[in-house]
Amino acid sequence: MPAFPAENVTFRIATAQDANLLADLGWRTFEETFAPHNTNEDMDAFHPTMYAPARQAEELADPKTQFIIAESNNEAVAYVKWNWDEAPNEISGERPFQISRLYLLQAFTGKGLGDALMQKSLDKARENGHDVIWLTVWESNHRAIRFYQKYGFAFAGELTFVLGQDVQRDLYMQRAV
């Protein structure tokens, strides 16, 4: 794995005051990654459904959800969102742990930050006694799929994801903790 510039990045648990920050950072990272592959209309329609500050506030208030924010020079540049609730039938295991989002600004990809957030995810799942860790990924996000496979994630099924008016296919991936 690439060396991670730990001296430049700090991690912290998100608080209720981070709803606006997560809405902004979530949308910026989503837009950087997916706008080139989708229409402006579909992106505009999706934006308020997932990345509105009120939606982020609801997620932050959920006791079975936690966000870890990565900051570089006091600026949020990435985050991971975890859930520990029931998983879909495609996911095996009795105590599932979900990586719901692992989002980085493009300028920080390929520098070890994704690896650091993944390791934090694996450590959290292990510390809390989970037996399986799972996530979803868009079937056309080949870079992310390769990243997850590097960590031992394997395909476990598929689901429909609607972006605006576009019906897309996401993949479930999982691995044992």
Q: Please state the domain extents for the chain.
A: 6-132
Q: Show Cβ contacts of residue 153 under 8 Å, excluding neighbours closer than 6 positions.
A: 133, 135, 173, 174, 175
Query: pLDDT digit string (tens) for 65-99?
Result: 999 999 998 899 999 999 998 899 999 999 999 99
Measured CA to CA, the distance from residue 11 to residue 68 in angstroms comes to 7
User: 6-132 has which fold?
Assistant: Aminopeptidase (3.40.630)
96-104/132-138 β-pairing: parallel
Mean pLDDT score across all residues of the chain = 91
Alpha carbon 96 to its chain's center: 16
Take residue 72 and report the two structure tokens written for it.
Answer: 């570089």
Query: pLDDT digit string (tens) for 109-134?
Result: 989 999 999 999 999 999 999 999 99
Higher pLDDT, 166 or 147: 147
Measured CA to CA, the distance from residue 40 to residue 9 in angstroms comes to 33
pLDDT at position 50 over 90 = no
- Count, residues in the chain: 177
Measured CA to CA, the distance from residue 161 to residue 138 in angstroms comes to 8
